[in-house]
Amino acid sequence: MNSEQFDFRNGREQLLRALLHEPAGDPLGYALFAHCFTCSKESRAAKVIGETMAARGIGVLRFDFTGLGSSEGDFANTDFSSNIDDLVAAADHLRVTRRAPALLIGHSLGGAAVLGAAHRIPEVKAVATIGAPSDPSHVTNLFKDEIEAIRDRGEGEVELGGRVFRIRSEFLDDVAEQRLLSQVADMRKPLLIMHAPADQIVSIDNASAIFVAARHPKSFISLDGADHLLSRRQDARYAAAVIAAWSERYLVTQGDLIVPADSPDQPPGEVVVTETGRGMFEQSVTVGAHHLVADEPISVGGLDSGPSPYDLLLAALGACTAMTIRLYAQRKALPLEQVSVLLRHSKIHADDCQTCESSQGQIDRIERVITIVGDLDVDQRARLMEIADKCPVHRTLTSEVDIRTVPAIPVFSDPAEPPG
């Protein structure tokens, strides 16, 4: 993952400080993140979501709204409408320098802002909100005791989160004039609504109102145990992981990935593995009518978007083991309730293996822990453990295997101009 300063200017020519997170390879798409009211791009939610989604292949731009964080401008001169303008300016900058954002993510009032901005950014394919109010004027509840004074004097100072902010009556007028639910009804874009049931700042009733107003496709995810600000890292990481997984089906278009989803299913016994172009290692795996992704962990340069090759190898052995035990138990009418298999792969010195033929160097060791549940006697359990070693994949791994490697017919990037 790469992160770089990505500043841009808003419609008033004020410099807005921004940070762009990009995955190691070609991004699946770009997302624009809008932070919460009086927060900044450095809030825990903004940082963790940006970093986590970039690790999953989606570039994320997070920035400070005008007058907040390190951005230029006076916060007192801003309002909800100017926040939307800032989002549009950020999208314009991404469009020119990278690609326009296909995904909008907003936290709290930032969630309301992305709902209001979606129709002004034509490339947006999906929108996700976290703890968003259904009415922007909800934010005035944070300083409801000062509203009358602000109206009387035209402005006033309020303390929010231990900091003092100047609010003008124009801000109150602007949020009162918003008709957010009407915009949600007309948005016609896939929408993911995430909200903590016990949110003490913006009640979950707001999520219900947004959900009812939105058209399908729409989804709701409960952030159980989280607070409004996603103060715990694990809550922010969970939100990011869900958004990344949910949005992928809307970000991926034909040609983004080399995935044979529209090609005929592979015949039984054939597996096709093709690079996706995302990151250094990610692979599309087609097994008959089934499709999955293989990758490597982030620690070795992958995106961690799928199991590693050794993970898949262990999965094959584990699945085969459980299936073989189940088949035997069924044939013998044994009272087997459930089988689970835990597997680990490691490298050990050959001289540490008493049953191995090799005596030098390192060898592969697979530990297989089998849990058998059922009203079985000692002999029946012992027999099932013996049957585990007769699983076909086990036999393949422990027998001589002939792997033949041959070149396929050359495929040129431009069929009209083959080399030579």
* Residue pLDDT, tens place only, 375-405: 999 999 999 999 999 999 999 998 988 898 9
Q: Is the dihedral of CA 184, 186, 191, 197 positive or negative?
A: positive
In this structure, the answer to whether residues 75 and 152 fall within a common structural domain is: yes
In this structure, the answer to whether residues 221 and 266 fall within a common structural domain is: no
Domain assignment present for 404: no
Can you tell me whether residue 349 is helix, strand or coil?
strand
The answer to whether residue 188 scores a pLDDT higher than 80 is yes
In this structure, the answer to whether residues 222 and 321 fall within a common structural domain is: no
Residue 127 neighbours by CB under 8 Å, 6+ apart: 103, 104, 105, 106, 114, 115, 118, 187, 189, 190, 191, 192
The answer to whether residue 265 scores a pLDDT higher than 60 is no
Q: 20: domain range?
A: 2-251
The answer to whether residue 315 scores a pLDDT higher than 90 is yes
Give phi and psi for 315, each to the nearest 5.
-60, -40
Domain assignment present for 158: yes
In this structure, the answer to whether residues 61 and 105 fall within a common structural domain is: yes
In this structure, the answer to whether residues 337 and 242 fall within a common structural domain is: no
Pick from 58-62, 210-214, 242-246, 352-356: least confident:
352-356
Task: Tell me the per-residue pLDDT of 268-303, one tens digit each, with 9 for 90 and over.
Answer: 678 888 887 777 888 888 887 677 889 998 888 888
Maximum mean pLDDT: which of 200-209, 346-355, 357-366: 200-209
Q: How confident is the model at residue 196 (pLDDT cuts 50, 70, 90)?
A: very high
Domain assignment present for 278: yes
User: How crowded is the C-beta side of 44, counted as CA atoms within 13 Å?
Assistant: 14
Domain assignment present for 176: yes
Q: Mean pLDDT over residues 345-356, rounded?
A: 73
Domain assignment present for 194: yes
- CATH no. for residue 322? 3.30.300.20
Domain assignment present for 409: no
In this structure, the answer to whether residues 72 and 157 fall within a common structural domain is: yes
In this structure, the answer to whether residues 75 and 215 fall within a common structural domain is: yes
- Structure tokens of 184? 């949600």
As for how many domains the chain has, the answer is 3
- Round to whole Å and give the CA distance between 192 and 339: 37
In this structure, the answer to whether residues 201 and 319 fall within a common structural domain is: no
In this structure, the answer to whether residues 165 and 313 fall within a common structural domain is: no
Domain assignment present for 197: yes
In this structure, the answer to whether residues 179 and 283 fall within a common structural domain is: no
In this structure, the answer to whether residues 323 and 281 fall within a common structural domain is: no
The answer to whether residue 256 scores a pLDDT higher than 60 is no
In this structure, the answer to whether residues 388 and 282 fall within a common structural domain is: no
- CATH no. for residue 73? 3.40.50.1820
Task: Tell me the per-residue pLDDT of 361-383, one tens digit each, with 9 for 90 and over.
Answer: 778 889 999 999 999 999 999 99
Domain assignment present for 414: no
